Amino acid sequence: KAGVTQTPRYLIKTRGQQVTLSCSPISGHRSVSWYQQTPGQGLQFLFEYFSETQRNKGNFPGRFSGRQFSNSRSEMNVSTLELGDSALYLCASSLELAGENEQFFGPGTRLTVL
């Protein structure tokens, strides 16, 4: 089985722009979660989607949003980018609800905001 894929792998944007990141989960997995990883804050939970519904949302501003499609693929969007949004964004999928099962992580998208 193919693993979790994320596109693009690297992205450079400037402040004020918006960005969309994509995640394709492992085939058959219904849950997709997104995390932001920075040296200072570590791994922080952004949101989880299960069967196209947002199940949980972390403590991030409304500029961060996401969605999940019927094929379980997910996208996250960050609008009005700030310098502090520079981070590694990780997507993870699991067979059922995240947290109850092993999560499989993608390689991440490295976002740099200039």
Partner 1 sequence: SQQGEEDPQALSIQEGENATMNCSYKTSINNLQWYRQNSGRGLVHLILIRSNEREKHSGRLRVTLDTSKKSSSLLITASRAADTASYFCATVFNQAGTALIFGKGTTLSVSS
Shortest distance in whole angstroms from residue 62 CB to partner 1: 18
Site map (CB under 8 A) of partner 1, residues 19-48, x = contact = --------------x-x------xxxx--x
Quick check: 97 and 55 in contact, CB under 8 A? yes
End-to-end alpha carbon distance in the chain: 37
Torsion angle, CA of 84/89/58/23, rounded to 10 degrees?
140
Name the residue nearer to partner 1 (CB basis): 36 or 85: 36
Please pick, from the candidates 22, 67, 95, 97, the single residue that binds partner 1 as defined by CB under 8 A. Answer: 97
